[in-house]
Structure 1
């Protein structure tokens, strides 16, 4: 009898946890400084969850070590749903870039849901002699080694996109890393470097002001904000697509019922009119995928990044 009762309680516990969650404030760790796109997405989701569930969802910025500092904090937390992680696509690539083991994205974390994505934009200084990426690639081939790209950091989404363009286009240009998006964009606008790839939210305002020239978008289709700007695929790199995407994770071994509960609430938050309006200004497309679909997508991205990193010999340390 005691054994049967124990089994009943054990089976009921995860379900009860999912049904009662949350009954205290929830911390959402963002392993980057405040003000970036990852932080912005996390704050919109946190605000909607707080309103919908009547508990505080608090964004906790823990920058450092290319995003691994805050990520490891979540990995070592209790798997009770009260410490979560919002990360970007670089979360998948970072372990492949480092010589020492950092984390295993599948073993050390519970994938809850992909939140969504934003396209990246290939931009150049207005003085670059090309109206689009196709012409710019032709100029690079004519004078290999002359042109330079900037990036926010080694291993960032923008860096990986630049390496992909370089590799798939068989191009020769230097990629110069900076400490963040802002200084890299400043260098492009000042004419000190020629071009850059970065997420739409950071580049579009400078395109609209005329300080940057748009050459191509990295998404599979053209975007409504810049309908006349071709995709990278249209520019000669057939099948090219690389967006900056964002996801929500918890520590490893979170109960399935709790994971599903959080995914459901996040999907509801992303579907709200207010969230759609704010995130739409960033060019954000919401996904809110099921955990199993998110895991499959992560594995697909791991394979893709692994091939690119090996071919380009990219290292973070």
Structure 2
């Protein structure tokens, strides 16, 4: 005879096991060999910082061996090409921003189709952007910058991490709103461009808050505004673009993980679940807030749908200013 208490214990244990089954199955589908997480920009930029945060959490949470590899150059396409040509077994992944998805819109001869040649795995975060200026310039507001640039446009140049990068698109929007066509100089990532702004060789740069704020707080560059509707919790002392003289300059960057085309569905699902869980933990610990990143999670399908809409929006922005791929 089975007592009611024993029956309840057995039933609870069974239900618990059944509930764990999908999670265990997903964990089993994670790559067993070391994972190469390719960042297509120089070390030290916003994409690199976030990639390393995620890699460390995935190591801690799942025991994965993840090596972050910086492969900068050619608007991020050198790193993208390395992932595209890799075996689609989940051991070579790309960590990038919207720069990756804009390759066809900003390059005359992109080495791949950033949408159809890759497997979207997870969108993991987004962040406001920061407009900074060379420290040797006397201006304090965007309105003052625009007024001077209209008088002397040849004296003003924007640095950008890469063509098609979030900072590039935000800069295009700046030019459009200001009625200017200031030169935009692409670099091999955020760090080298920011170095030139700090040295006064280039006058302006827009890039994620997490990448530019340390230099701004250190006095190496001047922070003018965040490109958001509200001030960033990470830097409440910095005004919004609207407060500083340019209403409408609102632009956020986002980050995601991709793999090569043709990855097994089970591996994609497992990596997506692992990324979502890691981002949840990072958000709960306050690590993301330290860098001004808002957590994002969702399915691979929702990521693919987001990419389609984002590419359309940014393509229309580039077309509105007659941008020509280079």
Equivalent residue runs for 1:252-263 within 5 Å: 252-263=261-272
Q: Contact 2:97 / 2:255 at 8 angstroms: preserved in 1?
A: yes
**CA shift at 1:275, angstroms?**
8.0
Write the distance in 2 (CA, Å) between the matches of 1:158 and 1:127: 22
Structure 1 position 84, deviation (Å): 1.7
Q: Secondary structure at the match of 2:259?
A: strand
| Equivalent position of 2:229 in the other structure | 220
Structure 2 residue 142 is the aligned partner of structure 1 residue 133: yes
Distance 2:284 2:40 in 1: 22
| Inter-partner Cα distance in structure 1 for 2:93 and 2:24 | 19
Gaps of 5+ in 2: 1-22
Corresponding residue number in structure 2 for 1:115: 124
Aligned pair partner of 2:216 in 203, 207, 223: 207
**TM-score, length of structure 2 as denominator length:** 0.80
Shift of 1:146: 4.4
Please name the residue that 2:3 is paired with. none
Aligned length: 303
CA contact (8 A) 1:48 1:275 kept: no
Contact 1:75–1:108 under 8 Å retained in 2: yes
1:77 to 86, 97, 118: 86
Specify the alignment match of 1:165 in structure 2.
Answer: 174
Change (3 A) 1:150 1:52: closer
User: Quick one: distance in 2 between partners of 1:205 and 1:243?
Assistant: 19
Q: Secondary structure at the match of 2:140?
A: coil
Q: 1:89 aligns with which of 95, 98, 106?
A: 98
| Rounded Cα–Cα distance in structure 2 between residues aligned with 1:271 and 1:204 | 24
Q: Does 1:270 align with 2:317?
A: no
Q: Distance in 2 between matches of 1:183 and 1:82?
A: 29
Q: Distance in 1 between matches of 2:181 and 2:207?
A: 20
2:5 corresponding residue in structure 1: none
> Would you say the 8 A contact 1:45–1:275 is kept in 2?
no
Q: Which has the larger radius of gyration?
A: 2
Q: Check if 1:37 corresponds to 2:61.
A: no
Contact 2:76-2:162 at 8 Å conserved across structures: no
Name the counterpart of 1:7. Answer: none
Given candidates 4, 29, 39, the residue that maps to 1:21 is 29
1:287 lines up with 2:296 in the alignment: yes
How far the C-alpha of 1:37 sits from its partner, in A, is 2.4
Tell me, what secondary structure is at the counterpart of 1:79? Answer: coil
Look up the SS of the partner of 1:269 in the other structure: helix
Distance 1:33 1:305, change over 3 A: same
Q: 1:41 to 1:156 in 2, by over 3 A?
A: same
C-alpha RMSD of the superposition:
2.9
Give the match's secondary structure for 2:263.
coil
Structure-1 separation of matches of 2:192 and 2:45: 13
User: Using the alignment, how far apart are the partners of 2:318 and 2:70 within structure 1?
Assistant: 28
Among 44, 62, 65, the residue aligned to 2:71: 62
Structure 1 regions of 5+ residues with no counterpart?
Answer: 1-14
Q: Deviations over 1:158-182 (max 9, x none)?
A: 2222121101321243334445434
Shift of 1:291: 1.8
Contact kept, 8 Å, 2:129 with 2:208, in 1: the verdict is yes
C-alpha distance in 2 between matches for 1:74 and 1:275: 31
Structure 1 Cα separation of the partners of residues 72 and 195 of structure 2? 22
Distance 1:275 1:93, change over 3 A: farther
Is contact 1:44–1:275 with CA below 8 Å preserved after alignment?
A: no
Looking at structure 1, the residues matched to 208 and 290 of structure 2 have their Cα atoms a distance apart, in angstroms, of 12
SS in 2 for 1:272: helix
- State the TM-score, normalizing by the size of structure 1: 0.82
Aligned to 1:10: none
Q: Is the 8 A contact 1:76 1:251 kept in 2?
A: yes
Does residue 198 (structure 1) correspond to residue 207 (structure 2)? The answer is: yes
